[in-house]
Amino acid sequence: MQLTAWDMPTAIVAGQRFKFALGVRCAEGCNLGGRDFSLIDQQGAVVDTLKLGREIWPGTEALYVAEVEVEAPRETGHHHWQATIAGVGMQLPHAAGAIQLSISVVGAPDCEVTIRAVDREQQTPIRNALVVMHPYRTVTDDNGIAKIRAARGQYDILVSGFRYLAASTSVEVKDDLVTVAELDVDQPWTSQEEDLA
């Protein structure tokens, strides 16, 4: 059994509920619809037992997916959970499968950081720009603005946009603050444009 997990939030506030997706596939493409899987916390306790969806996930060959919603640990830091699925109870014997899940738990935010992404030359807003202020991540809205509620501290902010070169800056978050990221356009290369180098 092969497992994968995605859409895991990168900074989960302690004790709050969060969602992610878990997918499981049998190496031979067997039907896993409706099968149980378990979430195990760092101490080995079962957090929850859930069922995979009945249908193959669109765009895949034989992946069965579940949307998971659970409560985060109350202690901040990195927590290593496991998702496991048993191999028994199927027509043909299967080996069990497991995957480690990294749950990053942070304290309650103190401040709001506003990041404005703009085209450096045009000074126009860049929507859907990716903003990483580790461990926080978000994207800008239609006005090129992203807001992150974060704990106080020193952060590097990286901003990248579709067909834009990434920009970076460092900030110390003590109170609410606003910062602007000016991005340069990245030219997609054709080999003719390579000739211009």
Binding site for another protein (CB under 8 A): 2, 4-8, 10, 21, 23, 25, 27, 57, 59-63, 78, 100, 102, 104, 130, 132, 134-135, 137, 156, 158-166, 168, 186-197
Q: In what order do the strands lie in the sheet with 64-71?
A: 2-6, 17-25, 64-71
Q: Tokens representing 174?
A: 């003590």
Nearer to another protein, 175 or 192 (CB): 192
Could you list the beta-strand ranges (E) of the chain. Answer: 2-6, 12-13, 17-25, 36-40, 46-51, 64-71, 77-85, 97-106, 111-119, 130-133, 136-139, 145-150, 153-160, 167-173, 177-183
Amino acid identity of residue 9, one-letter, is P
Cα 100 → chain centroid: 15
Nearer to another protein, 122 or 190 (CB): 190
Nearer to another protein, 11 or 175 (CB): 11
Amino acid identity of residue 106, one-letter, is V
Give every CB contact of residue 86 below 8 A, 6+ residues apart in sequence: 36, 96
Q: Tokens representing 106?
A: 């942070």
* Minimum CB–partner distance for residue 6 and another protein (Å): 4
Nearer to another protein, 5 or 47 (CB): 5
* Minimum CB–partner distance for residue 187 and another protein (Å): 6
Nearer to another protein, 124 or 187 (CB): 187
Nearer to another protein, 6 or 175 (CB): 6
DSSP strand pairing (130-133 vs 153-160): antiparallel
* Minimum CB–partner distance for residue 137 and another protein (Å): 8
* Minimum CB–partner distance for residue 189 and another protein (Å): 5
Rounded to 5 degrees, φ, ψ at 156 are -100, 130
